[in-house]
Each structure stands twice: as C-alpha cells, then as structure tokens.
Amino acid sequence: MTEQSSRPVSAVTKKAVQVGDPAPDFTLPDANGTPVHFRDLIGKTEIVLYFYPKDETPGCTAQACAFRDNYEAFKELGAEVVGVSSDSAAAHQAFVSKYQLPFLLLSDEQGRVRELFDVPKAFGIFPGRVTYIIDKQGIVRHSFDSLVGATKHIPDALKVLRQLRGESST
C-alpha cells in the first residue's frame, strides 16, 4: 500500500498554471542526479523556470546559451534560472559541461512536472517551450510560450523581472 513511495511530483493539478497561481511543488534530479526540491528555491530569489524540448537540438542549445550569456543580468535582478526537459541527468551533465551552463537543469524523464504545469505540446506531439517567472513567494507572475522563438524567452524574462523590481524595462 505504498504506491506513492518514490513519486518525483508532490502535487497534482488539473488545469494549466496561470499567472497569479502558486507554482506547483515538485522534486526532480539535477544534472548530477541530486534531487532538487522546488520549494527549497522559493523565498530565496525570483525563479525563471523554463521548460524546453531537448538538449543538443539547435533551438534548445541556442536558448540555453542565451540564458548562459545573460545569466549575470538575471543574478543582478535577483533571479535564478532553472531549465527542465525530459533528458536524463547524464544528458544534462554533458550539456551543462559542453556549453558551460551556470544554472540548474532538471531531469523530468517521465514528463510529470511538464504535465503538472500543463505545458502545451507543439502540434500536439512535441514538448513545448514555456518560461515562467515565479516570485519569491512562489506565485507565477508571468508566462511566455513560444516553441520557435527560443531566444525570445530571455529578453521577455528580463523585462518582467525589471518590472517586478519597479525598474524601467528599456
């Protein structure tokens, strides 16, 4: 009677996560296989949580490298970047090493967290690309959904973070 013994997702939802909703809690392994509990990140910084289709694909590599290249700007705005895909921890480890990614990549091999956030699929079959801005209280303040505009997620996220801080978005 212990069917929930090793579930990596600790909450269930039936609707898409909307702006103003609390971000669902979850636990996923990072690139080293170490479990990361999302709730442990809440309260420390704003979180830029981005879901992407797959490591080593052209769009996903461009997106990850754009987050890397702007990582200091995110840190200056008090935010942490966290990427999620269905790749294994080992694949993430190679991706992080190859492109020197300074932020967390989490492995959602079974797609449970993607489902938890109800990240839409492109054309009904491909994993979608959605970025959420989550404040220090764990509330979703913004979401951006664009499969083909992989690098557009970065300036959009920076603009929202500046707005949250009351800064000019120029």
The alpha carbon dihedral of 154, 146, 63, 116 has a sign of positive
Q: What global pTM score does this model have? A: 0.88
Tens digit of each residue's pLDDT (9 = 90 or more) over 31-77: 999 999 999 999 999 999 999 999 999 999 999 999 999 999 999 99
Kindly report the CATH number that applies to the domain delimited by 27-163.
3.40.30.10
**Of 7 and 88, the one with more pLDDT:** 88
Q: Are 103 and 82 in contact (CB under 8 A)?
A: yes
Catalytic-labelled residue, pool 9, 31, 49, 60: 60
Classify residue 163 as exposed, middle or buried by CB count within 10 Å of its CB (0-12, 13-18, 19+).
middle
Q: Where are the domains of the chain?
A: 27-163
Q: Are 107 and 99 in contact (CB under 8 A)?
A: no
pLDDT at 28 over 70: yes
Catalytic residue at 60? yes
Tens digit of each residue's pLDDT (9 = 90 or more) over 71-94: 999 999 999 999 999 999 999 999
DSSP for 22-69, written as a single string: BPPPBEEEBTTS-EEEHHHHTTTSEEEEEE-S-TTSHHHHHHHHHHHH
Residue range 19-38: average pLDDT?
A: 96
What pLDDT does 6 receive? 35
